[in-house]
Structure formats: structure tokens, C-alpha cells
Amino acid sequence: MSLPSLPSLPLRPIALLLLSLGLLSTTTAQAEPPKKPSQTQKQPRKKPPAKLAKPAPAQPYGEREDLMQFARELAVQEGWEEAPLRALLAQARRNPTVQRLIMPPPAGTAKDWGAYRARFVEPRRIQAGLAFWSEHEEALARAESRYGVPAELIAGLIGVETFYGQITGGFSVLDALSTLAFDFPPGRRDRSAFFREQLVEYLRLCRREGLDPLALKGSYAGAMGWPQFMPGSWNRFAIDFDGDGRVDLIRSPVDAIGSVAHYLAQHGWQPGLPTHYTVAAPVETADRARLLAPDILPSFTAAQFEEAGARLSEGAREHPGPLALVELQMGEAAPVYVAGTSNFYAITRYNWSSYYAMAVIEMGQTLRSYRKAGSSAP
Ligand SMILES: [Ca+2]
């Protein structure tokens, strides 16, 4: 999940999907966990060939000087004992897969909202979402009433992030964060300072919650649990919502529900405001380009939209705040457009992608429709 102050960070549950669909360029705030086949689909277990070549196990960093220097400074800064910290970091391992996944997709990959949407808003995930909503109806309603974030949006988001806790990532968080902190690959903007900070946040989190830093699994960028929070976001925005005195995003879906709502509320969610409106984009290329220039940051009034040649739906013309013209590319077909509000923007603070935000919204709407119709299965 989420790094408000860090625009172009591609990380998150969906990152693999984004990669495969060429959508990673808009940035995401969290990291996509790899799919664990054992969790996502039950397949008949095939007996592996007797002599299956295994990749050589990654070597621990050991007492590499930059890690030990980091440990020394951190021990002083946090008032921690140095020796156990050194011993812990020495066990971290550089992971080449993490280095590969942090890279942007090849240039020129066509974005396709239709294909992207179909990966999330599909029968199995809808089914899981309806079960999740039924099971956690009380917590979702409580989060909605406390933070003003609709239950459907929270349910949609957790569904898109982790398939309701089924796909939360199989990377060692310590390895992933250490790799990106100390061996960030060349070829894209260096984010190692950010990941060093996340590593510190992770160690604080483990100490506070009594978790084993060698044991936790997450996405290739170190995002964890049901809502895929990065450690810094966990420390700042996660809450205890099931009242057991602990903030546990790995085992408690109820803590995840409260934490997602709290996160969005802290990132500008306004109760009662729509996320977006339908809009016909300006026909003139120059006008369209002007409205698209600020990207997903809502920057124009409804009147300015219309002056530029966009045609808004009736409700949108009365919208009091700024709007953003959001373009969703459809592969070779003509793109679709929506007018995003500040609430659309708030969802992109969780994951920096308009495709992501739209998938969350439409997943939520779909779940709500099924519930309204009293239907339990798509
Ligand atoms: Ca709790």
C-alpha cells in the first residue's frame, strides 16, 4: 500500500498484474505480492521430477560493511543493542527477483483497462468478496460510520489488493527491503533511501508488535498483510479495529478493514462525495491535452471542464470541488474517460494508479449490486 509522499513508486499487490498488462507506469504505492499457487488455486500436486535443478540458495549478506554501518547508526539512533541488530541484518539475503520486479515495464506496452478490470472483477473474486462482506458486515459498517468510507469501497480495495487475504506475498520482507535498500538495481530512479527508511520502520514494527523480522512474508517491495501496507504506512495509519490491543494486518481482517478506512480518511477522503462522474472528453486534441495535463490531480471546476469542451453528466455539473479528466486506455480501442473527484484521488494515494482506483471502485460497486439483488453468486 501506500506512500503518499512518494510519487513514482511502483510497488504493490497488483504490481505483477500491472507489469503483465503494461500498467505499471502510473506508479503504485504498495507492492504486489507474488501469487502463491498453493493459496490461489487448488491444483493437483504433481510429483516433481527426481532431479529437479534448484536455483542456488541466496547467500546471506553477512557482515557487509554498508549493512554493518547502517546497523551501527541505527542502534545509536533508536537506542537498540548493536550486536543483535548486526546479527539480524547479516542474515538478510539479496533477492534478484525483487530487483527484477522493481523495474518498470518495457516502454511501449499498451495499457488496457478492459483487460485490467477483468483480472479483478471476475466471478471467483466477487464470490470471495461477497463472503468477506457477509462475514465482516459489522466491521465494515462500523468503519463506514466512523470514517465515512463506504463499506463497498473497503471491500473492493481489499479484494483488489489480496483477493481477500489469499494473495499476500511470498517474499521475505527482510530480504526484500534489504535488497532494495542496499542493492537497488540501476536503470531506474534510485529509491534506496526510501527502502532504508522502510527497513527501519519494519524493524520498529517488529519490535513493537513482537514479530519475528525473519519470518514475515510480503510483496517484493515489502508490503504486508490483508491490505498490503508498507511498514511505514502500518506504523502511521494502521489501527486496532477488533479491540484485541494489537495492530495485526496479517492475521486480522478486521484490523485491515479499519486500517484501510483510516488510511483513506487520512488521505483526503470526503464522506458522501462521489468518486467520479461520466464525461465525454473534449473532441479537440489540444483541449483534451490541457485537461489531461495534471493527470489524476483534480484541478478544474465543472465549469472549466465544460469551457474546454468536455460534456459532463448532470450531477457532475453541480459538483462543488475540482475534477480531473482521467483517461483509461483500452489497448488498440478508443480510451474511456471519467471525471475523477478528490475521492478518486484519495484512492490513488493508496496506490498510484488510476486503473487501480477504478478497479477498486468497480469491484465495490459490483459487490454492492449482488448484495442488493440478494444474490450470493455471480
Ligand atoms: Ca487487533
Domain boundary assignment for the chain: 276-340
Distance 242 CA to ligand 1 centre (A): 5
* Cα 61 from chain centroid (whole Å): 29
Give me the amino acid identity at 11: L
pTM of the full structure = 0.85
pLDDT for 305 equals: 96
Q: What are the residues whose beta carbon lies below 5 Å from ligand 1 (ion)?
A: 240, 242, 244, 246, 252, 255
CB 105 within 8 A of CB 19: yes
Tell me the three cell numbers of residue 284: 479537440
Residue pair 310/291 in contact (Cβ under 8 Å)? The answer is yes
Expressed in angstroms and rounded, the spacing between residue 251 Cα and the centre of ligand 1 is 9
Ligand 1 centroid, distance to 377 Cα (angstroms) = 30
**How far is Cα 79 from Cα 73, in angstroms, rounded to an integer?**
10
Distance 248 CA to ligand 1 centre (A): 5
Give, for 151, the enclosing helix (H) or strand (E). helix 151-162
Identify the active-site residue in 32, 144, 152, 161: 161
Q: How far apart are CA 5 and CA 344, in angstroms?
A: 17
The H-assigned helical ranges of the chain are: 15-21, 37-40, 65-78, 82-90, 96-101, 113-120, 123-135, 137-147, 151-162, 173-182, 192-209, 231-237, 253-266, 285-292, 302-307, 314-317, 342-348, 354-372
Distance 37 CA to ligand 1 centre (A): 28
The yes-or-no answer on residue 161 being catalytic is: yes
Helix then strand count (H, E) for the chain reads: 18, 8
Specify the 3-state DSSP secondary structure of 325: strand
At residue 53, the pLDDT reads 56
- pLDDT for res 259: 98
Q: Give 253 Cα–ligand 1 centroid separation in angstroms.
A: 9
Please give the distance, rounded to the nearest whole angstrom, from the Cα atom of residue 180 to the centre of ligand 1: 29
State residue 3's pLDDT score: 41
What's the grid cell of residue 27? 506508479
- pLDDT string in tens for the chain (378-residue length): 544 333 333 334 454 444 444 443 323 344 333 333 333 333 344 444 445 555 666 789 999 999 999 999 999 999 999 999 999 999 999 999 999 999 988 877 789 999 999 999 999 999 999 999 999 999 999 999 999 999 999 999 999 999 999 999 999 999 999 999 999 999 889 999 999 999 999 999 999 999 999 999 999 999 999 999 999 999 999 999 999 999 999 999 999 999 999 999 999 999 999 999 999 999 999 999 999 999 999 999 999 999 999 999 988 999 999 999 999 999 999 999 999 999 999 999 999 999 999 999 999 999 999 999 987 667
SS3 311: strand
CA angle 158, 375, 145 (to 5 degrees): 45
Question: What's the 35 CA to ligand 1 centre distance in angstroms?
Answer: 26
- In this structure, the strands spanning 276-280 and 333-340 are antiparallel
3-state secondary structure 236-282: HHCCCCCCCCCCCCCCCHHHHHHHHHHHHHHCCCCCCCCCEEEEECC
Is residue 34 within 8 A of residue 219, CB to CB? The reply is yes
**How close is the Cα of 225 to the center of ligand 1, in Å?**
13
Which residues have C-beta within 8 Å of that of residue 336, sequence separation ≥ 6?
Answer: 113, 327, 328, 330
Nearest to 102 by CA among 173, 31, 17: 31
Q: Which residues of 232-254 are buried (b: 16+ CB within 10 A; e: fewer)?
A: bbbbebbbebbeeeebbbbebbb
Q: Cα separation of 134 and 350, whole Å?
A: 24
Tell me, in angstroms, the distance from the centre of ligand 1 to residue 262's CA: 14
- Cβ atoms of 231 and 218 within 8 Å: the answer is no
Q: CA quadruple 354, 359, 364, 369: dihedral positive or negative? A: positive
Tell me, in angstroms, the distance from the centre of ligand 1 to residue 125's CA: 25
- Sheet of 276-280: strands edge to edge? 311-312, 276-280, 333-340, 324-330
CA–CA distance, 229 with 355 (Å, rounded to integer): 19
User: Which run of H or E residues covers position 333?
Assistant: strand 333-340
Q: State the Cα–Cα distance between residues 247 and 240, nearest whole angstrom.
A: 5
Q: Ligand 1: distance of its center to the CA of 2 in Å? A: 20
The alpha carbon of 243 and the centre of ligand 1 are apart by a number of angstroms equal to: 5
